[in-house]
Amino acid sequence: MPTNLYSLDLTALTAHVRSMGQPSFRAKQLWKWMYERGAQDFDEMNNLPKSFRQALAETCQLGTLEMVVEQRSADGTIKRLYRLPDGKTIEAVLMSYADNRRTACISSQAGCAMGCSFCATGQMGFGRHLTADEIFEQAQLFSAELRAKGERLSNVVMMGMGEPLHNYDAAMAGVRRLMGDLGIGARHITVSTVGLPKRIRQFADEKLQVKLAVSLHAATDVTRSSMLPINRKYPIEDLLAAVRDYVDTTGRRVTFEWALIAGQNDSVDEAARLGRLLRGIKCHVNLIPLNPTEKYGGQPTSPADVATFIDTLARHRIPATVRVRRGIDIDAGCGQLSERF
């Protein structure tokens, strides 16, 4: 089987290059082509000897993800379906913004075991955990293409398919590679979770500056359990206790994600309950009018009701903003990722 060069750190890459009969400095040249210049083919690496490039092409590969199909949104968002070596599939998204931000939304699992009712990935069920290399490679592929155009990947959000904290070790290894190999600043990386208290506390102890986003979506256990089955095991009180511990340990603000669903969790009373619930927590609420999925019949909250929800939270001194919706026409928005195109 070819050696996946994206799976090697610089020390391992140097050892591999030496095993191919090349001097150590070739490893740094190869590294620069992979991570600084965005080369996606060995033939592009024109300061390497032709014989070495041929040997690399015969025995090595740049990644293991196979792109099956790509879609482009009217707003410029790109969504890709990748096939993993065992045949399972995942999706990854690249979002471009007018302020030159380039944000990759990447997956941590094939499918998801959390079963959130309004999420297309949750409706799929669980396939398997991704390896750290598979997590990293999604971002690396976007980064390479951007660098080849003179641009750079500025942000990464682990908000694609899967629950990152359910695949904790691989997700953290992937985060460290994003920082170390791609040079993404910790504060430009976000890990999203439905709320696994033990893992949230463990994440706090990592002492990273990476952002934490918690999918809350309801202010009572009855409503939240109907939307997010994990709440039956870890009710809101347990989740918020872990979040408070996270804030105390790190000093960092937490983002609470809230999918606004018309007639279900978007009333003034619900906003007031949320305001009381989050009182005293260093946080921000990210409101997301529901994105449609095939198996969930809910509708997004109207703009007027979104504004009222924000105003109600403001009266409780809880800051909130509405997420800019991207790629909705190609099912690339929050909660829409599945394995179908």
Q: Tell me the C-alpha distance between 111 and 124, whole Å.
A: 6
Q: Tell me the C-alpha distance between 163 and 160, whole Å.
A: 8
Q: Tell me the C-alpha distance between 228 and 291, whole Å.
A: 16
- DSSP string for 172-224: HHHHHHHHHTT---GGGEEEEES--HHHHHHHHHT----EEEEE---SSHHHH
* Residue 204 identity: A
Please pick, among 105, 116, 283, 334, the residue that the annotation labels catalytic.
334
* Residue 105 identity: C
Question: 285, 278 in Cβ contact below 8 A?
Answer: yes
* Residue 64 identity: T
DSSP 97: -
Quick check: is 105 catalytic? no
Dihedral Cα 115, 118, 124, 126, nearest 10 deg = -30
Q: Which residues of 221-240 are buried (b: 16+ CB within 10 A; e: fewer)?
A: eebbbebbbbbeebbbeebb
Question: 162, 108 in Cβ contact below 8 A?
Answer: yes
CA angle 159, 164, 168 (to 5 degrees): 160
Please pick, among 91, 134, 137, 270, the residue that the annotation labels catalytic.
91
Quick check: is 91 catalytic? yes
DSSP 74: T
Question: 224, 218 in Cβ contact below 8 A?
Answer: yes
Question: 152, 98 in Cβ contact below 8 A?
Answer: no
Q: Tell me the C-alpha distance between 189 and 196, whole Å.
A: 19
Q: Tell me the C-alpha distance between 82 and 65, whole Å.
A: 6
Structure tokens at 303: 């703009």
Q: Which residues are catalytic?
A: 91, 334
